[in-house]
Chain A
Amino acid sequence: MESQTLHWNHPNIMGPELLELLRTSVPQSLGGTLPVTATVLTLGLYVKGILPTDWAELAGKISRVHPSRVLIINPIVNSANAPTHVDAELSATITYRRPHEPPILFSECVQMNLQGGLANHWIDLVQSLIKSDLPAYLLWLGMPPLPGFRWDLLSTGFSHLVIDTEQTGIEPWHHVMLQSPRLGLMIDDLYWQRLGLWRVHWANVTDRPEALAVVSTPESISVVWPVEKSTGWQMLLGWLVSRLSWQIVDIAPNRLLMATESGNTIPVHITTGADPGITFYQGNRRLSSQEAHNQLTTQFEIGSDVLYEISDPCNLADPVSDVVKLLNRGHDQLYDEAMSALLLSERPEQ
């Protein structure tokens, strides 16, 4: 299929003009022909305070590979006193299946630099740009908003909030996570998705009964994890807690105490290190998993004998593939269960 991408720049316009331009720009460029629309979802990118180098390529690539309306929401910092307007850049990717057939509007990308009142009240404008009756994801790049943010307003337009706790940690999102069931807002986490390799790897390892026995009834667990990404081990253990019907007795950034259903406690020792690793101990048995050199490797040992070693290659991180995979797979119920286990158990730091 042939394709072409059309671009328009519209500085200093108001919201209604933007809506009209979005409706008319493509047909006008195609000589009055109305294209068939392939769009299956809306993807918002909230990029306040983030350099374009960190999101422009992502937005461009996603709109080239996924049939979507991509909305780049960029409230300009410290512009609250400026006149309210939008500096907009529009692009549309048109594909042509065959001669004599109508062109297909594959995707649209709308970059909005929001000034003045719109920098604060951007939801009001963005809501009118969301494709109706289709899934709408808001990918929040960077730090979450301050308390008091109107998640209730946001959730009337967006059905999914996509966060990346590898960058931000979990804590800043607690508030919205606790509200999300009431708001009908599903939260998807790119870090959770990247950790999918660990979950699949452990599922494969524990297909062996002796490995499952150690993982499901350990006497203790030790965690080595990069300090700035501690969300990773927390989410993995949250997943184990929800899958194995454990309970979290105490949790803090550097310690964790869990209990099995039968009441046995499992202390978790946490230390920092460059290569993430988690080890389960049960008597003289040890199951240790470590991610290093693009391999996730698990060793099962009895005493000093290594019974077996299983490795999986790590997929190299690619932000576009991460997002596209998430859009295609949709919401992961396991994430809700793991987060619920963590959130319900969290204790304030002493």
Chain B
Amino acid sequence: MIDIHSTANPLREGLVESRRPQPFTMIIFGAAGDLAHRKLFPALYNLMVDHWLPHQVNVVGFSRQPFDDDNFRKEIKHSIEQFSRQPLNADVFDQFASGMHYISANFNDPQAYIELRNLLTRLNEEQHLPGNYLFYLATPPSFYPIIAEHLGAVGLNVSPSEQGWVRIIVEKPFGRDLASAIELNAQLHKVFDETQIFRIDHYLGKETVQNILVFRFANGIFEPLWNRQYIDHVQITVAESLGVEGRGTYYDTAGALRDIVQNHMMQLVSLIAMEPPVVFEADAVRDEKVKVLKAIRPLSTRDVTQFTVRAQYDEGYVEGSMVPGYLDEPDIPSDSRTESYMAMRLLIDNWRWAGVPFYLRTGKRLAKRATEIAIQFKKAPHRFFNQTATPDLEPNLLTLKIQPDEGIALRFGAKVPGPVVRIRTVNMDFLYGTSFADQAPEAYERLLLDAMIGDSTLFTRKDEVEAAWSLVTTILNGWERAKGPIPTYEAGTWGPPEADELIARDGFRWRRP
């Protein structure tokens, strides 16, 4: 018997489009900013084109720019024309635009939040909406506690209806160190509980990052090998060929460790190293990720010197063009000690990974853009072909390529044709882009849809953020104490010699992506 009062709709079960949110209103703080224009509005529009959104979606822009509703709609149309992966369809856009509203106000202005509450109440009444609100803080982080506090003051942290929901999406960076992350979490928790807070790291919305879990847990052949018995070491590379690109002011306050390692690379480490969750649900997955972060061996000050490297790029040639050094970039102080490169070794002290080093490196102005995870397996236990000329046989290597050239490659030895046994390393390559004719959604599309549905699997939980900051803060403190000169590397190379020495001490070398 169908229970029509239950929340489950039997006509939705089994549909590919079953993940459809209830009608809601999204309120974007910083709606006139770059993130909203480049990512959020195109993502919302694409979700609507692909029929993922409910019929009643309102978008309220909240920003300091003096737009009215019509200007705001024109701005959004322009964003979609420029940045959407799907072309503008006038009918869909008209439907999308009919629910757009704009409030021009300062984030500190209490009156503006009353105006916002009145607008939301009016929309609920006019459209018979259940009072579901999704707040998106696309603002500088300094405004997060201010906006949260104002929302709480006017009662917008809870839905006006019993069945309704209120969620808030917070962009990275979530703090500058462990203390500020704890403080930010505490400020947000004064107004919102943890289930309402969605900390977004767009890396987790990438298809290839999600594919790490599918690759590991949907295939039977890899997981038995995924441990210290068979894996020699792991290398994670997030390399960029670009420099600070006009973001000098921001970047110099962050550096590679805060900008990339604390969030993106720690996510990659936890996805690679985590145990299989009991179920594929938000907290089960995040519990396992947090366990990995907590199992990372803490670094002493001495360890920081020994197992981490930081550096700044010097001038050099990237893709054939001369580029300036970090200290000569616009908006970078000439005495800056901010790292544009960092490499480190970390150990995960648990049953699966004991003794398996993880090497992480990231930097700007490196030889090429590449994000990859390389799992190097141990050599064959017996050199069966010892008597033959096979000196250059490399151990097996499984490479998960996150970007560009998304895919998976497996390196193995094969016999060179001929009357003698000679072995050469070859690659078995899977290219993500060529195997599926469908256009992959942008990371923000996936993550926004998840937040609308209330699925926080791909969002970072409080303890996850704090565990990552705990490690990173130790390194920051260690670097703070070190007063010597910061190593440099020539732009367009793979980093400083110190990083090569870091890995060479363990008998390995960085692979060349």
Contact = CB atoms under 8 A, between A and B. Distances in A.
Interface of A: 36, 38, 40, 65-67, 95, 97, 104, 106, 196-197, 199-200, 202-204, 206-207, 209, 212-213, 215-217, 240, 243-245, 261-262, 308, 310, 312-313, 324-325, 327-329, 332-334, 337
Nearest to B21: A207
Given A203-B20, A204-B55, A215 B405 contact: no
Given A67-B437, A213-B4, A312 B15 contact: no
Nearest to B92: A313
A334 B10 CA distance: 12
Contact of A97 (B10, B128, B405): B405
A339 B171 CA distance: 47
A63 to B, nearest CB: 11
B435 interface: yes
A58 to B, nearest CB: 14
Instruction: Name which of B11, B13, B435, B436 has the most chain A CB atoms within 10 A of its CB.
Output: B11
Contacts of B51: 197, 200, 312
B21 to A, nearest CB: 10
A97 B409 CA distance: 15
Given A67-B437, A310-B55, A327-B437, A216 B12 contact: no
B153 interface: no
Given A67-B437, A97-B405, A243-B10, A216 B54 contact: no
Given A324-B438, A328-B437, A243 B11 contact: yes
A196 B89 CA distance: 20
B11 A209 contact: no
B437 A212 contact: no
Contacts, number: 90
A203 B434 contact: no
Interface residues of B, number: 32
A209 B434 contact: no
Contact of B11 (A203, A312, A333): A203
B17 interface: yes
Contacts of B20: 200, 203-204, 207
A337 B11 CA distance: 13
A67 B4 contact: no
Nearest to B17: A200
B162 interface: no
Contact of B17 (A97, A203, A209, A216): A203
A209 B13 contact: no
A209 B4 CA distance: 6
A203 B22 CA distance: 12
A65 B15 CA distance: 25
Contacts of A65: 437
B13 A261 contact: no
Nearest to A64: B437
B220 interface: no
B2 A207 contact: no
B11 A215 contact: yes
A65 to B, nearest CB: 5
A95 B431 CA distance: 12
Given A65-B437, A207-B22, A312-B51, A262 B1 contact: yes
Nearest to B89: A313
B15 A216 contact: no
Contact of A203 (B5, B12, B405): B12
Given A200-B51, A209-B4, A244 B10 contact: yes
10 contacts: A196-B16, A203-B11, A207-B9, A212-B4, A212-B11, A243-B13, A262-B1, A308-B128, A333-B14, A337-B14
B335 interface: no
Contacts of B1: 245, 261-262
Interface in B1-51: 1-2, 4-5, 9-18, 20, 22, 51
A212 B434 contact: no
B11 A206 contact: yes
A202 B55 CA distance: 12
Interface of B: 1-2, 4-5, 9-18, 20, 22, 51, 54-55, 89, 91-92, 95, 128, 405, 429, 431, 434-438
A334 B15 contact: yes
Contacts of B14: 243, 333-334, 337
Contacts of B91: 313
A7 to B, nearest CB: 21
Nearest to A261: B1
Contacts of B435: 38, 40, 67
A207 B54 contact: yes
A67 B407 CA distance: 15
A38 B434 contact: yes
A197 B20 CA distance: 14
Contacts of A95: 434
Nearest to A210: B4
Contacts of A240: 11
B16 A329 contact: yes
Contacts of A206: 9, 11-12
A216 B11 CA distance: 9
A216 B91 CA distance: 31
A246 to B, nearest CB: 10
Contact of B4 (A106, A216, A245, A332): A216
Contacts of B18: 203
Nearest to A239: B11
A154 to B, nearest CB: 25
Contacts of B436: 40, 328
Contact of A328 (B10, B17, B438): B438
B123 to A, nearest CB: 15
Contact of A200 (B2, B15, B95, B431): B15
Contact of A245 (B2, B405, B431): B2
A282 B429 CA distance: 59
Contacts of B405: 97
Contact of A324 (B2, B9, B89, B437): B437
Contact of B434 (A104, A207, A217, A312): A104
Contacts of B95: 313
B420 to A, nearest CB: 23
Contacts of B13: 243
Contacts of B431: 38, 97, 104
Contacts of A262: 1
B11 A199 contact: yes
Given A200-B20, A328-B436, 9 more contacts: A40-B436, A65-B437, A203-B12, A203-B17, A206-B9, A209-B4, A212-B4, A217-B4, A313-B91
Nearest to B56: A310
A199 B89 CA distance: 23
A263 B112 CA distance: 57
Contacts of A197: 51
A55 B104 CA distance: 55
